[in-house]
Structures are given as structure tokens and as C-alpha cells.
């Protein structure tokens, strides 16, 4: 077993193993983008490596399997059409933040991804959402995660802290900023998973001290995951309140989830990991 000094020094999760908790699934609405044009053509995060070959047909098959898992679980999946020249478009979560009929369209940090935003804006318009654009950078649900009726907002690498007020105002919701400090965990959804309206899991070393204090105060029962799980993007999950669709390689986290009464559903998105994303990155949730 690999020991993680930082993680072992932290308080252990308080829930006892095999505690019986009643979890319930709620049907969700997702938006996904097929990885037709997926590639690693540039490097904008530490996971991307131009010398690693990408198998696009394998990426397509893995993505299709993820989509099928959602459908089998009773969720709805809409699609935004994939565009040539935008190899990261498969990471649909970054396109927007959508809650209660209102949407904030992404303003990407890197010019390579800027062209994705209009495609998401068009989809939102066609589907009746009132959208706004922010003046400052925001990367949608990569950094903006809804827990109950609070938005947790990552900053430090992509989403600009100055966008937070604009987002809170438009969505009319409280927003709590969380500072990310490790470039491997450049989006909040790589370091923190929302499991239901009150339950989260996170990787403590990804956060600045003051943000860890905030998390510990807000979520004293949170699940803290180990490095081995965080480093396969194990926190990049989609939960419906019971079923947690997650990278299959995050076996330690899967066990923790099981002990907390959730049902881990492992999928293999190894091709999409080459771009620095996994389950959640590929999934924009339309929150209602
Ligand atoms: N290559 C993409 C980027 O660096 C990956 C985005 C992953 N998406 C996410 N929601 N974390 O922007």
C-alpha cells in the first residue's frame, strides 16, 4: 500500500464502515459531446502529453459506454454536436453552468478552447435557457459545482475569482470560493466530487489551507480520498444520489463510497484521461 503523508495526517472520515444509509437516485439531465474530433494537439494541463498517441475510435467506444450507463440508469442525455478543430470539446462540463433555467456560458482560459463556448451558447438558447456571459474567465462545471443550493467555485488555475460575483448574481445563489493549488488538479471537478445535496468527497492536498478549513467546516462528514484515487481522476464522478459513475481505476474510493451507502459504477475512460478528464468532465448536468 502506498502511504500518503499529507493524507494520513488528516482526520479520518467519521462514518463507520458498512453504516446503513438510505440513498436515493434522482433522474438527471445531461449534455454530452461525442469525441469525434478528440485528440491531444496542445498542452494546457499536466495530464496532456503530445508524445502519447490517442486512439480516437477507442475514445468513442469508451464515451459511448459512458452514455449508455447514464441511459441504463434512467437519465436523459442530450448532445451538443462536436466540431472539428476543437479536440477538447468532449469535456462538455466546461461549456456552461446551468441551474433552474438559467445558464452561465463558459469563457475559456485558453484560446484553443474558446470556440467551444458559442456551440454551448447556441444549445442553451435553443433549449430555452436564459444565458449570460461573464466578463472574466469561467470554465463552467469544471470549476462550478452545485451542492444542494450552494455553488462551490474553484479558482487558481482556470476560473477567475472575479467571475464568482457575476455567477452568483446571475444564478441568484450563494457561492463559496475554493482555492486550488496543485496544477494536476486544475479544475475543481478533478479534486472534489458532489455525491448528493449534502455529501461531498475531496482530495485535501489539492486545496489551499484556508479552503481546506472552509471545506472541513461546511462538510465535517466529507469523504477524504487518498492520492492513489485522486491520481486516476477518481473524484471526477457523476452521482445521481445513489449511483456514482466513476473511473474504474479508483478502487479505494469505490470502497469508501460503498461503505457510505453509495453504489459505485466503474467505467473505463482511459483514452479521455490523456486529455486530463474523466467522467464528470465529459458530462454537463442541467440542474433543475
Ligand atoms: N484538456 C482539457 C483542458 O485542459 C480537459 C478539461 C477537463 N474538464 C474538466 N471538467 N475538468 O481544458
Confidence (pTM): 0.93
Q: What is the C-alpha to C-alpha distance for residues 23 and 45, in angstroms, rounded to an integer?
A: 35
Q: Render pLDDT for 211-246 as a digit per residue (tens, 0 to 9).
A: 999 999 999 999 999 999 999 999 999 999 999 999
Torsion angles phi and psi, residue 285, rounded to 5: -95, 130
Mean pLDDT, rounded, for 167-183? 97
- Looking at residue 19, its pLDDT comes to 57
Q: What is the C-alpha to C-alpha distance for residues 233 and 276, in angstroms, rounded to an integer?
A: 8
Q: Render pLDDT for 71-119 as a digit per residue (tens, 0 to 9).
A: 999 999 999 999 999 999 999 999 999 999 999 999 999 999 999 999 9
Q: What is the C-alpha to C-alpha distance for residues 65 and 240, in angstroms, rounded to an integer?
A: 17
* Ligand 1, atom nearest to 275 Cα: 1
Q: What is the C-alpha to C-alpha distance for residues 256 and 272, in angstroms, rounded to an integer?
A: 24
- Looking at residue 195, its pLDDT comes to 98
Give the residue, out of 281, 282, 284, 285, with the most ligand 1 atoms within 8 A of its beta carbon, to mutate for a pocket test.
Answer: 281
- Residue 18 above 60 pLDDT? no
Q: Render pLDDT for 236-283 as a digit per residue (tens, 0 to 9).
A: 999 999 999 999 999 999 999 999 999 999 999 999 999 999 999 999
- Residue 17 above 80 pLDDT? no
β-strands 144-147, 192-194: how paired?
unpaired
- Looking at residue 282, its pLDDT comes to 99
More confident residue, 122 or 10: 122
Confidence band, pLDDT 50/70/90 cuts, at residue 21: confident
Confidence band, pLDDT 50/70/90 cuts, at residue 8: very low
- Residue 184 above 60 pLDDT? yes
- Residue 163 above 90 pLDDT? yes
Q: Name, in order, each residue with C-beta under 8 angstroms of 75's C-beta and a sequence gap of 6 or more.
A: 27, 28, 29, 30, 240
Strand order in the sheet with 263-267: 238-239, 243-247, 263-267
Residue 91 CA to ligand 1 center (angstroms) comes to: 6
Give the residue, out of 35, 44, 59, 88, with the most ligand 1 atoms within 8 A of its beta carbon, to mutate for a pocket test.
Answer: 88
Short-list 216, 158, 231, 147, CA closest to 188: 158
The H or E element containing residue 167 is helix 163-171
Mean pLDDT, rounded, for 194-222? 98
Mean pLDDT, rounded, for 17-29? 83
- Residue 9 above 80 pLDDT? no
Give the residue, out of 154, 275, 279, 284, with the most ligand 1 atoms within 8 A of its beta carbon, to mutate for a pocket test.
Answer: 275
Residue 276 CA to ligand 1 center (angstroms) comes to: 6
- Looking at residue 40, its pLDDT comes to 98
Averaged confidence pLDDT in the chain: 94
Grid coordinates belonging to 263: 453504489
Coil vs helix vs strand at 120 = helix
Strand pairing partners for 155? 179
Q: What is the C-alpha to C-alpha distance for residues 250 and 72, in angstroms, rounded to an integer?
A: 22
Count the helix, strand and coil residues of the chain and give each as a percent rounded to the nearest 5: 30, 20, 50
More confident residue, 5 or 198: 198
Residue 143 CA to ligand 1 center (angstroms) comes to: 10
- Residue 54 above 70 pLDDT? yes
Q: What is the C-alpha to C-alpha distance for residues 207 and 236, in angstroms, rounded to an integer?
A: 16
Known catalytic residues? 187, 281
Q: What is the C-alpha to C-alpha distance for residues 189 and 281, in angstroms, rounded to an integer?
A: 7
Pocket of ligand 1 (CB under 6 A): 44-45, 48, 88, 91, 93-94, 113, 142, 187, 189-190, 275-277, 281
Torsion angles phi and psi, residue 230, rounded to 5: -65, -35
Mean pLDDT, rounded, for 199-217? 98
Residue 35 CA to ligand 1 center (angstroms) comes to: 13
Q: What is the C-alpha to C-alpha distance for residues 216 and 194, in angstroms, rounded to an integer?
A: 15
Please, are residues 21 and 260 in contact by the beta-carbon 8 Å criterion?
yes
The H or E element containing residue 257 is helix 251-259
Amino acid at each position: 500500500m502506498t502511504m500518503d503523508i499529507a493524507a494520513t495526517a488528516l482526520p479520518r472520515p467519521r462514518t463507520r464502515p458498512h453504516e446503513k444509509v438510505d440513498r436515493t437516485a434522482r433522474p438527471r439531465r445531461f449534455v454530452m459531446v461525442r469525441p469525434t474530433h478528440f485528440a491531444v494537439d496542445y498542452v494546457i494541463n499536466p495530464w496532456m502529453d503530445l508524445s502519447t498517441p490517442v486512439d480516437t475510435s477507442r475514445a468513442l467506444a469508451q464515451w459511448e459506454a459512458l452514455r449508455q450507463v447514464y441511459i441504463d440508469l434512467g437519465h436523459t442525455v442530450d448532445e451538443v454536436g462536436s466540431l472539428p478543430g476543437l479536440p477538447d470539446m468532449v469535456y462538455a462540463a466546461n461549456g456552461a453552468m446551468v441551474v433552474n433555467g438559467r445558464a452561465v456560458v463558459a469563457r475559456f482560459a485558453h484560446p484553443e478552447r474558446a470556440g467551444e463556448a458559442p456551440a454551448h451558447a447556441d444549445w442553451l438558447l435553443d433549449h430555452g435557457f436564459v444565458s449570460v456571459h461573464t466578463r472574466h474567465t469561467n470554465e463552467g462545471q469544471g470549476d462550478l459545482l452545485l451542492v444542494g443550493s450552494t455553488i462551490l467555485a474553484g479558482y487558481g488555475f482556470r476560473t477567475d475569482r472575479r467571475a464568482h460575483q457575476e455567477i452568483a448574481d446571475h444564478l441568484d445563489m450563494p457561492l463559496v470560493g475554493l482555492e486550488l493549488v496543485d496544477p494536476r488538479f486544475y479544475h475543481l471537478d478533478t479534486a472534489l466530487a458532489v455525491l448528493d445535496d449534502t455529501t461531498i468527497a475531496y482530495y485535501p492536498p489539492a486545496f489551499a489551507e484556508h479552503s481546506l478549513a472552509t471545506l472541513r467546516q461546511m462538510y465535517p462528514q466529507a469523504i477524504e480520498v487518498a492520492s492513489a484515487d485522486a491520481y486516476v481522476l477518481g473524484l471526477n464522478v457523476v452521482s445521481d444520489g445513489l449511483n456514482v459513475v466513476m473511473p474504474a481505476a479508483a478502487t479505494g474510493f469505490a470502497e469508501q463510497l460503498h461503505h457510505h451507502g453509495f453504489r459505485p459504477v466503474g467505467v473505463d475512460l482511459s483514452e479521455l484521461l490523456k486529455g486530463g478528464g474523466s467522467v464528470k468532465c465529459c458530462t454537463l448536468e442541467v440542474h433543475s
